[in-house]
Amino acid sequence: MKHPTTPSKLNKTALVWALALTLVLALVIVPYSYAVFTNSMHAQRTIAAYDAVGDRFSSNYLAAGNNSRDNVRTIYVTDGSHSPTAVVSVCNYDQGKQTRPNDTTISYTVTARLVKRVGENYEPVNAAYLTSEELTAYTITVSDDSTDVTLGTALQSTSFSGTLTGGVADSDVYTVTFTTNFAVATPPNLYLEMVVVPTNPGTQLPQLCGIIATGLRAAGASTSWAGSFNDSTDNAPSAYDGYNYVIEGTGAGTFTLKWDNTRVALSYESIRMLDCDVTTVGNISTITFTVDSNTVDRYDLQFYRKNITSETWASSMNEHLATAGTTPAAVVGYFFVAT
Protein backbone atom coordinates (compact mmCIF):
# COMPACT_ATOMS: atom_id res chain seq x y z
CA MET A 1 0.00 0.00 0.00
CA LYS A 2 1.25 3.38 -1.00
CA HIS A 3 1.60 6.00 1.65
CA PRO A 4 0.40 9.50 0.82
CA THR A 5 3.00 12.35 0.75
CA THR A 6 2.93 14.23 3.96
CA PRO A 7 2.55 18.05 4.06
CA SER A 8 6.05 18.41 5.50
CA LYS A 9 7.54 16.59 2.51
CA LEU A 10 5.55 18.77 0.10
CA ASN A 11 6.82 21.94 1.78
CA LYS A 12 10.42 20.74 1.60
CA THR A 13 10.13 19.89 -2.08
CA ALA A 14 8.58 23.26 -2.91
CA LEU A 15 11.25 25.06 -0.96
CA VAL A 16 14.05 23.28 -2.85
CA TRP A 17 12.48 24.14 -6.20
CA ALA A 18 11.93 27.76 -5.14
CA LEU A 19 15.54 28.13 -4.07
CA ALA A 20 16.78 26.60 -7.31
CA LEU A 21 14.58 28.90 -9.37
CA THR A 22 15.73 31.93 -7.40
CA LEU A 23 19.37 30.98 -7.96
CA VAL A 24 18.86 30.59 -11.71
CA LEU A 25 17.07 33.94 -11.96
CA ALA A 26 19.80 35.62 -9.93
CA LEU A 27 22.48 34.29 -12.26
CA VAL A 28 20.61 35.62 -15.28
CA ILE A 29 19.15 38.87 -14.01
CA VAL A 30 21.81 40.26 -11.68
CA PRO A 31 24.58 40.65 -14.29
CA TYR A 32 22.10 42.28 -16.65
CA SER A 33 20.90 44.67 -13.97
CA TYR A 34 24.49 45.51 -13.02
CA ALA A 35 25.38 46.20 -16.65
CA VAL A 36 22.41 48.51 -17.10
CA PHE A 37 23.30 50.38 -13.90
CA THR A 38 26.95 50.93 -14.82
CA ASN A 39 26.14 51.98 -18.36
CA SER A 40 23.59 54.44 -17.03
CA MET A 41 26.16 56.00 -14.70
CA HIS A 42 28.67 56.22 -17.54
CA ALA A 43 26.09 58.02 -19.67
CA GLN A 44 25.52 60.55 -16.93
CA ARG A 45 29.23 61.26 -16.63
CA THR A 46 29.84 61.69 -20.33
CA ILE A 47 26.68 63.45 -21.48
CA ALA A 48 24.87 65.19 -18.67
CA ALA A 49 27.91 67.10 -17.45
CA TYR A 50 28.44 68.79 -20.84
CA ASP A 51 24.79 69.56 -21.51
CA ALA A 52 24.24 71.00 -18.05
CA VAL A 53 27.35 73.16 -17.84
CA GLY A 54 29.88 72.54 -20.58
CA ASP A 55 32.80 74.76 -21.46
CA ARG A 56 30.82 76.89 -23.89
CA PHE A 57 32.07 80.20 -22.52
CA SER A 58 35.44 81.21 -23.92
CA SER A 59 37.73 83.91 -25.30
CA ASN A 60 40.43 84.14 -27.93
CA TYR A 61 42.83 85.82 -25.46
CA LEU A 62 41.54 84.96 -21.98
CA ALA A 63 41.63 81.52 -20.38
CA ALA A 64 39.33 79.79 -17.92
CA GLY A 65 40.73 79.93 -14.40
CA ASN A 66 41.27 82.09 -11.35
CA ASN A 67 44.89 83.22 -11.81
CA SER A 68 45.58 85.74 -14.56
CA ARG A 69 49.32 85.12 -14.21
CA ASP A 70 48.81 81.64 -15.67
CA ASN A 71 47.75 83.19 -18.97
CA VAL A 72 50.08 85.97 -20.18
CA ARG A 73 49.66 86.90 -23.83
CA THR A 74 52.05 89.26 -25.63
CA ILE A 75 51.06 91.56 -28.50
CA TYR A 76 54.05 91.95 -30.80
CA VAL A 77 54.58 94.73 -33.35
CA THR A 78 57.37 95.04 -35.89
CA ASP A 79 57.27 98.85 -36.18
CA GLY A 80 57.81 101.06 -33.13
CA SER A 81 55.55 103.72 -34.59
CA HIS A 82 52.54 101.39 -34.46
CA SER A 83 50.28 100.92 -31.46
CA PRO A 84 50.12 97.36 -30.10
CA THR A 85 46.45 96.38 -30.50
CA ALA A 86 44.36 93.32 -29.70
CA VAL A 87 40.71 92.43 -30.22
CA VAL A 88 39.56 90.34 -27.25
CA SER A 89 36.42 88.26 -27.72
CA VAL A 90 33.98 86.82 -25.19
CA CYS A 91 31.94 83.96 -26.69
CA ASN A 92 29.13 81.62 -25.68
CA TYR A 93 30.80 78.65 -27.37
CA ASP A 94 34.09 76.82 -27.14
CA GLN A 95 36.71 78.33 -29.44
CA GLY A 96 36.29 76.99 -32.97
CA LYS A 97 32.93 75.35 -32.20
CA GLN A 98 30.37 77.98 -33.13
CA THR A 99 27.92 75.26 -34.15
CA ARG A 100 27.48 74.28 -30.47
CA PRO A 101 26.55 77.49 -28.63
CA ASN A 102 25.52 77.53 -25.01
CA ASP A 103 21.78 76.99 -24.60
CA THR A 104 21.64 79.45 -21.71
CA THR A 105 21.75 83.23 -22.06
CA ILE A 106 24.92 84.39 -20.29
CA SER A 107 25.28 87.70 -18.49
CA TYR A 108 28.78 88.78 -17.47
CA THR A 109 30.98 91.65 -16.35
CA VAL A 110 34.45 92.58 -17.63
CA THR A 111 37.01 94.25 -15.39
CA ALA A 112 40.09 95.76 -17.05
CA ARG A 113 42.85 97.23 -14.90
CA LEU A 114 46.49 98.27 -15.04
CA VAL A 115 48.87 95.94 -13.19
CA LYS A 116 52.60 95.59 -12.54
CA ARG A 117 54.61 92.42 -12.18
CA VAL A 118 56.06 91.67 -8.75
CA GLY A 119 57.95 88.39 -8.72
CA GLU A 120 55.56 85.71 -9.98
CA ASN A 121 52.46 87.80 -9.32
CA TYR A 122 50.72 90.80 -10.82
CA GLU A 123 49.45 93.59 -8.62
CA PRO A 124 47.19 96.58 -9.40
CA VAL A 125 48.87 99.95 -9.79
CA ASN A 126 47.82 103.41 -8.64
CA ALA A 127 48.55 106.97 -9.73
CA ALA A 128 51.48 107.20 -7.30
CA TYR A 129 53.19 104.23 -8.93
CA LEU A 130 52.61 105.57 -12.44
CA THR A 131 54.00 108.94 -11.45
CA SER A 132 57.02 107.68 -9.54
CA GLU A 133 57.94 105.26 -12.33
CA GLU A 134 57.53 108.04 -14.94
CA LEU A 135 54.74 106.12 -16.65
CA THR A 136 52.29 109.01 -16.90
CA ALA A 137 52.63 109.01 -20.71
CA TYR A 138 51.72 105.34 -20.99
CA THR A 139 48.01 104.71 -21.53
CA ILE A 140 45.85 101.77 -22.61
CA THR A 141 42.42 102.24 -24.16
CA VAL A 142 39.72 99.58 -23.83
CA SER A 143 36.67 99.87 -26.10
CA ASP A 144 33.43 98.01 -26.60
CA ASP A 145 31.09 98.81 -29.47
CA SER A 146 29.97 102.10 -27.92
CA THR A 147 32.44 103.31 -25.26
CA ASP A 148 36.16 104.08 -25.18
CA VAL A 149 37.84 104.13 -21.76
CA THR A 150 41.48 105.19 -21.37
CA LEU A 151 43.45 103.80 -18.45
CA GLY A 152 46.37 105.81 -17.12
CA THR A 153 47.22 108.21 -14.33
CA ALA A 154 43.65 109.47 -13.91
CA LEU A 155 41.97 106.05 -14.13
CA GLN A 156 43.55 102.66 -13.44
CA SER A 157 40.56 100.33 -13.90
CA THR A 158 37.22 100.15 -15.66
CA SER A 159 34.37 97.70 -16.14
CA PHE A 160 31.92 96.67 -18.84
CA SER A 161 28.92 94.36 -18.89
CA GLY A 162 27.47 92.20 -21.61
CA THR A 163 24.94 89.53 -22.50
CA LEU A 164 25.33 86.56 -24.83
CA THR A 165 22.08 85.16 -26.24
CA GLY A 166 21.49 81.47 -25.58
CA GLY A 167 20.82 78.99 -28.36
CA VAL A 168 22.71 80.93 -31.06
CA ALA A 169 26.42 81.61 -31.55
CA ASP A 170 27.02 84.99 -29.96
CA SER A 171 30.13 86.98 -29.03
CA ASP A 172 31.21 90.43 -27.85
CA VAL A 173 34.54 92.05 -28.67
CA TYR A 174 36.70 94.51 -26.73
CA THR A 175 39.48 96.38 -28.52
CA VAL A 176 42.62 96.99 -26.48
CA THR A 177 45.04 99.68 -27.75
CA PHE A 178 48.40 100.51 -26.16
CA THR A 179 50.17 103.81 -26.90
CA THR A 180 53.17 103.57 -29.22
CA ASN A 181 55.67 103.98 -26.36
CA PHE A 182 54.83 100.38 -25.39
CA ALA A 183 56.24 99.22 -28.76
CA VAL A 184 59.82 98.79 -27.55
CA ALA A 185 62.12 95.82 -27.04
CA THR A 186 62.00 96.28 -23.26
CA PRO A 187 58.48 97.51 -22.35
CA PRO A 188 57.76 99.12 -18.98
CA ASN A 189 56.53 97.11 -16.02
CA LEU A 190 52.94 97.89 -16.90
CA TYR A 191 50.34 95.45 -18.21
CA LEU A 192 46.61 95.10 -18.73
CA GLU A 193 44.66 92.49 -16.76
CA MET A 194 41.19 91.48 -17.97
CA VAL A 195 38.78 89.33 -15.94
CA VAL A 196 35.38 88.21 -17.22
CA VAL A 197 32.94 86.93 -14.57
CA PRO A 198 29.55 85.29 -15.42
CA THR A 199 26.74 86.80 -13.34
CA ASN A 200 23.94 84.31 -14.03
CA PRO A 201 22.43 83.08 -10.74
CA GLY A 202 23.51 79.51 -10.06
CA THR A 203 25.78 79.26 -13.10
CA GLN A 204 28.80 76.98 -12.96
CA LEU A 205 30.62 78.66 -15.83
CA PRO A 206 34.25 79.55 -15.08
CA GLN A 207 35.61 83.07 -15.13
CA LEU A 208 37.96 84.05 -17.95
CA CYS A 209 41.14 85.98 -17.23
CA GLY A 210 44.56 86.92 -18.51
CA ILE A 211 47.39 89.44 -18.67
CA ILE A 212 48.14 91.30 -21.91
CA ALA A 213 51.71 92.48 -22.46
CA THR A 214 53.51 94.12 -25.40
CA GLY A 215 56.72 93.49 -27.29
CA LEU A 216 58.74 94.55 -30.34
CA ARG A 217 60.42 92.17 -32.75
CA ALA A 218 62.35 92.64 -35.96
CA ALA A 219 60.32 92.89 -39.16
CA GLY A 220 60.13 89.55 -40.91
CA ALA A 221 61.37 87.62 -37.90
CA SER A 222 59.51 84.33 -37.71
CA THR A 223 60.91 83.30 -34.37
CA SER A 224 61.80 85.43 -31.37
CA TRP A 225 62.31 83.80 -27.97
CA ALA A 226 64.13 85.05 -24.88
CA GLY A 227 64.51 84.20 -21.23
CA SER A 228 64.76 86.36 -18.11
CA PHE A 229 64.55 86.21 -14.34
CA ASN A 230 61.17 86.90 -12.82
CA ASP A 231 62.28 87.62 -9.25
CA SER A 232 62.26 91.00 -7.58
CA THR A 233 65.65 92.74 -7.75
CA ASP A 234 64.90 94.46 -4.44
CA ASN A 235 66.71 91.54 -2.79
CA ALA A 236 70.12 90.15 -3.67
CA PRO A 237 70.22 86.75 -5.42
CA SER A 238 71.71 85.19 -2.27
CA ALA A 239 68.50 86.05 -0.38
CA TYR A 240 66.50 83.50 -2.39
CA ASP A 241 66.35 79.73 -2.04
CA GLY A 242 65.52 79.47 -5.73
CA TYR A 243 64.86 81.48 -8.85
CA ASN A 244 61.97 81.84 -11.29
CA TYR A 245 63.06 81.92 -14.91
CA VAL A 246 60.58 82.85 -17.65
CA ILE A 247 61.00 82.02 -21.32
CA GLU A 248 58.61 83.80 -23.70
CA GLY A 249 58.43 84.26 -27.43
CA THR A 250 56.72 83.85 -30.74
CA GLY A 251 57.22 81.49 -33.66
CA ALA A 252 58.42 77.89 -33.82
CA GLY A 253 61.86 76.36 -33.42
CA THR A 254 64.15 75.11 -30.65
CA PHE A 255 65.40 76.79 -27.51
CA THR A 256 68.55 75.84 -25.63
CA LEU A 257 69.11 76.79 -22.01
CA LYS A 258 72.47 76.37 -20.29
CA TRP A 259 73.39 76.91 -16.65
CA ASP A 260 76.29 76.46 -14.28
CA ASN A 261 75.33 73.38 -12.27
CA THR A 262 77.74 74.28 -9.47
CA ARG A 263 75.57 77.27 -8.70
CA VAL A 264 71.99 76.15 -9.40
CA ALA A 265 69.95 73.04 -10.20
CA LEU A 266 66.92 72.91 -12.49
CA SER A 267 63.88 71.60 -10.62
CA TYR A 268 62.49 68.16 -11.40
CA GLU A 269 59.06 69.65 -12.17
CA SER A 270 60.61 71.97 -14.77
CA ILE A 271 62.43 69.08 -16.45
CA ARG A 272 59.25 67.01 -16.48
CA MET A 273 57.27 69.91 -17.96
CA LEU A 274 59.78 70.38 -20.80
CA ASP A 275 59.78 66.58 -21.34
CA CYS A 276 63.40 66.31 -22.51
CA ASP A 277 66.78 65.24 -21.18
CA VAL A 278 69.47 67.33 -19.55
CA THR A 279 73.03 66.86 -20.81
CA THR A 280 76.01 67.82 -18.66
CA VAL A 281 79.62 68.51 -19.64
CA GLY A 282 81.72 69.60 -16.71
CA ASN A 283 79.91 72.27 -14.74
CA ILE A 284 77.63 73.28 -17.63
CA SER A 285 74.23 71.62 -17.98
CA THR A 286 72.14 72.02 -21.12
CA ILE A 287 68.54 71.38 -22.06
CA THR A 288 67.09 71.87 -25.55
CA PHE A 289 63.37 71.76 -26.27
CA THR A 290 60.95 72.56 -29.07
CA VAL A 291 58.98 75.82 -28.92
CA ASP A 292 55.86 76.82 -30.82
CA SER A 293 53.92 79.89 -29.72
CA ASN A 294 50.77 78.56 -31.37
CA THR A 295 50.76 75.91 -28.65
CA VAL A 296 52.66 77.48 -25.72
CA ASP A 297 54.13 80.99 -25.69
CA ARG A 298 55.47 81.05 -22.11
CA TYR A 299 57.45 78.67 -19.90
CA ASP A 300 57.89 79.21 -16.16
CA LEU A 301 60.93 77.33 -14.85
CA GLN A 302 62.36 77.07 -11.35
CA PHE A 303 65.98 76.65 -10.28
CA TYR A 304 67.24 75.76 -6.82
CA ARG A 305 70.14 77.73 -5.37
CA LYS A 306 73.30 75.71 -4.71
CA ASN A 307 76.17 78.19 -4.35
CA ILE A 308 75.09 81.79 -4.75
CA THR A 309 76.78 84.15 -2.29
CA SER A 310 77.96 87.59 -3.39
CA GLU A 311 76.52 87.66 -6.93
CA THR A 312 74.41 90.63 -7.98
CA TRP A 313 71.61 90.70 -10.52
CA ALA A 314 73.45 93.08 -12.86
CA SER A 315 77.04 91.82 -12.84
CA SER A 316 76.61 88.10 -12.23
CA MET A 317 73.11 87.19 -13.33
CA ASN A 318 71.22 89.09 -16.04
CA GLU A 319 74.35 90.58 -17.57
CA HIS A 320 75.47 87.13 -18.68
CA LEU A 321 72.11 86.21 -20.13
CA ALA A 322 72.10 85.79 -23.91
CA THR A 323 68.90 85.74 -25.94
CA ALA A 324 67.75 83.01 -28.30
CA GLY A 325 70.03 82.62 -31.28
CA THR A 326 73.09 84.10 -29.57
CA THR A 327 76.17 82.03 -28.78
CA PRO A 328 78.38 83.58 -26.07
CA ALA A 329 82.13 83.56 -26.57
CA ALA A 330 82.57 81.82 -23.24
CA VAL A 331 80.18 79.63 -21.31
CA VAL A 332 82.09 78.46 -18.25
CA GLY A 333 81.45 80.78 -15.33
CA TYR A 334 78.25 82.18 -16.75
CA PHE A 335 75.30 81.81 -14.43
CA PHE A 336 72.68 81.35 -17.16
CA VAL A 337 73.17 81.20 -20.88
CA ALA A 338 70.26 80.86 -23.30
CA THR A 339 71.24 80.18 -26.89
pLDDT at 330 (0 to 100): 28
Q: pLDDT at residue 336 above 50? A: no
Rounded mean pLDDT of 212-223?
Answer: 74
Between 13 and 259, the higher pLDDT residue: 259
Residues 67 and 211 in one domain: yes
Instruction: Determine phi and psi for 113, rounding to 5 degrees.
Output: -145, 155
pLDDT at 139 (0 to 100): 97
Rounded mean pLDDT of 207-220?
Answer: 84
Residues 293 and 158 in one domain: no
Domain that holds residue 259: 224-338
pLDDT at 10 (0 to 100): 43
What is d(CA 247, CA 298) in angstroms, rounded to the nearest whole number? 6
Is 3 inside any structural domain?
no
What number of CA atoms fall less than 13 Å from residue 274's CA on the CB side? 25
pLDDT at 40 (0 to 100): 24
Confidence class for position 333, pLDDT limits 50, 70, 90: very low
pLDDT in tens, 23-42: 545 444 444 332 222 222 22
Q: How does DSSP classify residue 23?
A: H
Is 44 inside any structural domain?
no
Residues 70 and 212 in one domain: yes
Residues 254 and 204 in one domain: no
Q: What is the pTM of this model?
A: 0.55
Residues 202 and 269 in one domain: no
Residues 77 and 141 in one domain: yes
Domain termination site, one of 187, 216, 245: 216
Q: Judge contact between 101 and 56, C-beta under 8 A.
A: yes
What is d(CA 197, CA 209) in angstroms, rounded to the nearest whole number? 9
pLDDT in tens, 124-150: 999 999 999 999 999 999 999 889 999
pLDDT at 316 (0 to 100): 63
Confidence class for position 220, pLDDT limits 50, 70, 90: low
Confidence class for position 314, pLDDT limits 50, 70, 90: low
Instruction: Determine phi and psi for 311, rounding to 5 degrees.
Output: -65, 150
Instruction: Determine phi and psi for 293, rounding to 5 degrees.
Output: -65, -15
Q: pLDDT at residue 93 above 80? A: yes
Tally Cβ neighbours within 10 Å of residue 214: 24
What is d(CA 112, CA 159) in angstroms, rounded to the nearest whole number? 6
Residues 311 and 203 in one domain: no
Confidence class for position 273, pLDDT limits 50, 70, 90: confident
pLDDT at 44 (0 to 100): 24
